[in-house]
A and B are shown apart, each in its own frame.
Chain A
Amino acid sequence: MTATPEGAAAPERRATRRLAEPDLPHFDIGDLDAPTREALSSLLLTMADDEFVLGFWDSEWTGIAPMLEEDVAFSSLAQDEIGHARLLYEMLAQLRGGNADELAFGRHADEYHHCLLLDHPRTDWAFSVARRWLYDTADAVRLDALRRSAFAPLAQVVEKIRREETYHLMHMDVWMRRLAQGGEPHDRLEKALATLWPDALSMFASVPDEGRLIDEGILASTMSDLAERQYEQLSAVLVNLGLSVPGRRPSWEDGRARAQASDSFRWLWGEFTMVHRLEEGASW
């Protein structure tokens, strides 16, 4: 970076920025009956785990992304995901008791519910671009089904998350278009998509008691409907980009089903819980 004249001039004003309102709106859990609370908790846990695990996978690029600028940008995107996860874990903690840190770091590797798309290791840059693009496009569909949620605090949080995710998607669209142009990047991208394809819709595995969430107006459509929508959009864009993927439509019903954590996730879990496990119960 070339030197900026700004530093030498008047002492920089450090505006203290206070949030106009807390990110997590106050809510009364008494507004929800117990079964609805349970169903909502299941949904929130899958969403929070998805964001959390993606954030940690992508933070693995910090320091080694293709360019310094991309390094900063991609790391910032990863931080955004951790921020979204924090909000969702906090909401979950209010619904079920416990605290967000314990939910995020205090579980065994086998107890996370992230979708299978996030069980793959970081691999190469094309793979991480492909994975994040698949994730962000799917996440946009999921968030869209929650933005008018009858559970107002969720609608508010989703609206804020969506504003950041819109930008994430733009960033990934740029990279998909770039890599799809041809040559080695194109080949690597197709290879990555072929590996990820069976899990492309895994985010839309149904959540327990989903019907109740729909009846209550918390979730706008079934996960199956969302998966169909995502599949159609995905196929159209991939054709547009001149990318071929295995023709079969991926299944999604078992999108979070696993006997135990994958080896790559177990490794990641070891990384992101390392500090937490140093001193159980310490406050940081």
Chain B
Amino acid sequence: MLSENTARLLKQGAIWGFIVLELIFFSVAGHFLSLSEGAFMDLDNMLLLLKQSAPIGIIALGMTVIMINGNIDLSVGAIFALSAVVLLDSMTWPIFDGLGDWVIPVSWLLALLTGTVLGAVNGLIVWKTGVDAFIVTLGSMLGYRGLVFMYNGEQPTSELNWTLVDFAEAQFLGLHTATWFLLACTLALWLMMNKTVHGRNAYAIGDNCDAAVNAGIRVGPHMLKNFMLIGFLSALSAVVFYSESGSVNPNDGSLYELWAITAVVLGGTKLAGGSGSVISTFGGVIAIQLLRKGLGYIGSDTETVNLVIGLILIAVLYLDRQLNRKGKEELRI
């Protein structure tokens, strides 16, 4: 029987231990199996890994906040796609012709505004109607995706602005632009969740909504803010990703919600709400990306990644329940 403290430490450190295990495993296994010459722990490889984690990572950070607050958001992939369409399309609008490269910040703002508004719509519906967030965002996942398709049919929306690409591919202190965004978001959200009233209230609401109401916390506005936040972050993720790639397919971002939730759960955040941390989610994102890269590195099919991640997710859930003495009450949505 584990003591309370040991169990908590084990759980908080688990994701980092897992990352270390992955690094060791892929380095050793790669030594024997890999076809490429470079080492797995190569610095460039690790920097690239951080950059590739950014799109899902930024969304997963927002999902952590939503899940700590006791909700869930399935529409992030659709918000991601719609913001990307707005970002790329608005650069070609005739009214912005005179702006030159100043169109970039304007388009960014428009895209971020789109995401925030879409998130606010979700939040308002959840708040005002009292319908479960799972159902509301399941619906808007379909609806927002429909808007993406109505915008441009099944054609990809493309606009390549070289100034923007240069910015996205730039490296500052060795790290890529996308990585800086990911790190900045992690820091900002960590501060928000731990040092602000809003963050602490989000924990309280997720832990016990009735108690929070009785303590005088206004539950609705907090939920609304968090939905706006995840909308904003989904749009930010699109901004970071599509600044570089310059072309968005209407189906882009589908299943992102599932990847984001997987990363959050791997990081140890509870579906039931009230506990979790953005730092652990950051670990979860890195762990998934390591697994993808590592399995490719040792030459197994990329298909195996899905199988392995799925089984690890279930194993984590099982272990977590074994470690979690408090969790006798069933987790439910």
Do A and B bind? Answer: no
A residues with CB within 8 A of B: none
Chain B: residues with CB nearer than 8 A to chain A? none
